[in-house]
Chain A
Amino acid sequence: MHELSVAQRIIEITQEQAAKAGLTRVTAIKLRIGGLTTVVPEALNFCFSFAAEGTPAAGAELVIEEIPAEAKCNACGKVFPVTEAYFLVCPSCSSPDTTLLRGQELDLMSIEGETDEDRGAAGQTPAGQTSAGAAPKTNTAKNKTIRGRT
Chain B
Amino acid sequence: MKEVKVLTKILKANDMIAAEIRSLLDSHGIPCLNLMSSPGAGKTTLLEKTARLLSGSFSLAAIEGDVATSLDGERLNAAGIPTVQVNTGGGCHLDASMIKDALQNFDLAKTDLLFIENVGNLICPSSFDLGEHVRVVLLSLPEGEDKPLKYPAMFLNSSVLVLSKVDLAGRGGGTLAASRANALKVNPRLKVFEVSSTEGSGLAEWADYLKALVAQKKKGKTG
* Residue positions of A touching B, CB distance < 8 A: 1-2, 5-6, 9-10, 12-13, 17-18, 20-21, 23, 27, 31, 36-39, 84, 86-89, 96, 98, 100, 106-115, 118, 132-133, 146, 148-149
A96 engages B4 (CB within 8 Å): no
B5 engages A38 (CB within 8 Å): no
Q: Which residues of the other chain, A, contact B127 by a CB distance below 8 angstroms?
A: 2, 6, 37-39, 106
Main secondary structure on chain B at its contact with chain A? mixed
Q: Which residues of the other chain, A, contact B103 by a CB distance below 8 angstroms?
A: none
Main secondary structure on chain A at its contact with chain B? mixed
B7 (CB) vs chain A CBs: closest residue: A109
CB distance from A42 to the nearest CB of B (A): 15
B128 within 8 A of A: yes
B2 engages A110 (CB within 8 Å): no
Alpha-carbon distance between A89 and B156 when the two chains are bound, in angstroms: 12
B10 engages A111 (CB within 8 Å): no
Contact of A110 among B7, B123, B150, B186 (CB under 8 A): B7
A112 engages B4 (CB within 8 Å): yes
B1 engages A9 (CB within 8 Å): no
B43 within 8 A of A: no
A106 engages B185 (CB within 8 Å): no
B1 engages A112 (CB within 8 Å): yes
A148 engages B153 (CB within 8 Å): yes
Can you offer 17 A-B residue contacts whose CB atoms are under 8 A? A6-B127, A9-B11, A13-B6, A13-B8, A23-B2, A36-B152, A38-B127, A39-B127, A84-B149, A87-B186, A88-B187, A106-B10, A108-B6, A108-B9, A110-B5, A112-B1, A133-B1
B188 within 8 A of A: yes
CB distance from A46 to the nearest CB of B (A): 15
B124 within 8 A of A: yes
Contact of B2 among A1, A13, A21, A96 (CB under 8 A): A21
CB distance from B127 to the nearest CB of A (A): 6
Alpha-carbon distance between A111 and B8 when the two chains are bound, in angstroms: 11
B6 engages A109 (CB within 8 Å): yes
> Do A111 and B93 contact each other (CB < 8 Å), given the known contacts A86-B185, A96-B188?
no
B2 engages A89 (CB within 8 Å): no
Bitwise, B1-39 to A at CB < 8 A (1) or not (0) is 111111111111110000000000000000000000000
